[in-house]
Amino acid sequence: MESYSPIETNRPLFSIVIAVLNGAGTLNRCMESIIHQSNTQWELIVMDGGSIDGSVSVI
């Protein structure tokens, strides 16, 4: 009989990926929307493609 270890509950259920390029004007609103979702079993990954408008400071 095979035995299985319990599922690790600290791991995110899914990942949300935001790719941004010069999106400082909308990035904060986008991230706030994700943060306030009822499901909290996620991880947020934000990738900046070389923005020059301050997007990195929003992250």
Q: Does residue 18 contact residue 46 with C-beta atoms inside 8 Å?
A: yes
| pLDDT at residue 5 greater than cutoff 70 | no
Query: What is the pTM (predicted TM-score) of this model?
Result: 0.76
User: Looking at the predicted structure, is the pLDDT value of residue 48 above 70?
Assistant: yes
Residue 23 lies in a domain: yes
> Biggest alpha carbon distance in the chain?
58
Q: Is the pLDDT reported for residue 7 higher than 90?
A: no
For the chain, the domain total comes to 1
The set of residues, in sequence order, having a beta carbon less than 8 Å from that of 34 and lying 6+ positions away, is 16, 42, 44
- pLDDT surpassing 70 at residue 17: yes
Asked whether residue 20 is assigned to any structural domain, the reply reads yes
The answer to whether residue 56 is domain-embedded is: no
For residue 44, being part of any structural domain is answered with yes
Distance between CA atoms of residues 53 and 13, nearest Å: 32
* Residue 39 in domain: yes
Domain residues for 34? 1-51
Is 57 within a domain? no
State the pLDDT at residue 6.
64
The per-residue pLDDT of the chain, averaged, comes to 91
The band of 27, judged by pLDDT with boundaries at 50, 70 and 90, is: very high
Phi, psi of 22 (to 5 degrees): 55, 50
